[in-house]
């Protein structure tokens, strides 16, 4: 390995570790103050609190991975430019592509580590932290299961079944609520095409109520609108389906074939490609961030106070566009594969073009 390659790789690793420690510490500090009161109210020991935040570290780093890769490369090249090392290397006839090659190698190595962590480490740590936070601290015990696009929950007095097309809205499709006696014979069944949650009332629309009378016969009462006070509200439901963050990459891929409904298959496919594309997002950001760094130095001077905010702004723009495309893909409005990688393609092509112009 050439001396220059070793030097640049060591610098990249140094700043990568420093940024990891800095960002993760800041994130955990804010998270600690937000959640400490709930831990205290639940009467949890300090050992459990510390264990929760330690096990949450891999998830924090994973969420910051694109920005960490981008800033590590930008700071590495920026410090070199600020100390005139970059100018000396170019004056010695070393092309820019050879100078940035070790930085790209470092970004590829970091991306590989993030992929391995997503496959082997994160599913275990996130499962444990979710168990601590939702069940042990908030007391949210899973009440049911999720199968083929429907949710099934066991409440305190009866059973719920419905579809939940939009998690942001309290509107449920093909809703049913049934009660049973001690011998598991049905006592009543309320079913509706839609159910709205209007606190503290469930508003059922277009359905029927079936009740068993004393003789054992069932009486059906159709309705257009029916309001009921049921024992549970949507806040009582903890969806026990596997969250994508708790699943390994191979499990996400296998989940695609396990879906029966086309809408759920599209959503599962979008979840898988979104996870892969997010892990790879740091490389195209870096490819565009490096020439932007050089251009900002040429225009405003050798000062990282300009280059770093510009790089962060670019990262958040990419993040926003990428996130919007993933939401559209999960809803089936755009194709899954292009939406997952269009940002990567555009940023990479622009970055390579600008780097080539700088290398002329």
Residue ranges in 204-335 assigned as alpha helix (H): 249-257, 262-279, 282-300, 304-330
The mean predicted confidence, pLDDT, of the chain is: 87
* Angle, in degrees to the nearest 10, between helices 46-55 and 122-130: 140
User: pLDDT at position 242, please?
Assistant: 44
Interval 89-111 mean pLDDT: 91
Question: How far is it, in rounded angstroms, from Cα 30 to Cα 11?
Answer: 29
- C-alpha distances in Å from residue 336, one per residue of 66, 318, 322, 341: 21, 17, 12, 9
Name the band, by pLDDT with cuts 50, 70 and 90, for residue 311: confident
d(CA 276, CA 324): 16
Mean pLDDT confidence for 188-197: 93
Residue 303 has pLDDT above 70, yes or no: no
> CB–CB of 66/315 below 8 Å?
yes
Position 251 scores a pLDDT of 87
Q: Does the structure show a pLDDT above 50 at 113? A: yes
- pLDDT at position 277 is 96
DSSP 220: E
In the chain, the percentage of residues whose pLDDT exceeds 90 is 46
Residues of the chain with pLDDT > 70: what percent? Answer: 94
For residue 278, give every residue at least 6 positions away whose Cβ sits within 8 Å of its Cβ, in sequence order, or none. 65, 66, 322
Least confident range of 166-180, 186-200, 216-230: 166-180
């Amino acid at each position: 390995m050439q001396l220059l390659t070793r030097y640049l790789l060591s610098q990249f690793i140094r700043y990568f570790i420093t940024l990891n420690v800095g960002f993760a510490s800041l994130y955990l500090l804010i998270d600690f103050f937000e959640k400490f009161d709930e831990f205290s109210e639940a009467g949890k020991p300090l050992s459990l609190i510390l264990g929760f935040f330690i096990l949450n570290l891999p998830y924090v780093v994973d969420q910051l991975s694109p920005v960490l890769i981008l800033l590590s490369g930008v700071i590495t090249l920026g410090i070199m430019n600020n100390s005139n090392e970059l100018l000396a290397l170019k004056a010695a006839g070393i092309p820019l592509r050879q100078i940035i090659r070790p930085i790209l190698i470092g970004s590829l190595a970091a991306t590989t580590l993030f992929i391995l962590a997503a496959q082997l480490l994160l599913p275990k740590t996130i499962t444990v932290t979710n168990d601590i936070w939702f069940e042990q601290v908030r007391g949210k015990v899973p009440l049911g299961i999720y199968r083929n696009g429907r949710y099934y929950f066991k409440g305190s007095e009866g059973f719920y079944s419905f579809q939940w097309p939009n998690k942001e809205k309290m509107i449920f499709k093909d809703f049913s609520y049934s009660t049973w006696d001690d011998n598991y014979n049905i006592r009543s069944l309320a079913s509706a095409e839609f159910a709205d949650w209007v606190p503290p009332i469930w508003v059922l629309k277009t359905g029927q109520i079936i009740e068993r009378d004393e003789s054992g016969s069932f009486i059906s009462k159709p309705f257009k609108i029916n309001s009921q006070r049921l024992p549970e509200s949507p806040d009582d439901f903890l969806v026990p389906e596997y969250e994508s963050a708790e699943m390994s990459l191979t499990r996400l891929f296998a989940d695609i074939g396990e879906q029966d409904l086309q809408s759920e298959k599209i959503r599962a496919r979008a979840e898988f490609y979104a996870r892969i594309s997010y892990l790879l997002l740091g490389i195209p950001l870096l490819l565009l961030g490096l020439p932007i760094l050089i251009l900002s130095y040429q225009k405003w001077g050798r000062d990282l106070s300009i280059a770093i905010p510009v790089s962060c702004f670019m990262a958040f723009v990419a993040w926003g566009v990428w996130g919007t495309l993933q939401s559209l893909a999960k809803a089936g409005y755009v194709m899954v594969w292009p939406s997952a990688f269009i940002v990567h393609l555009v940023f990479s092509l622009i970055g390579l073009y600008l780097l080539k112009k700088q290398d002329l």
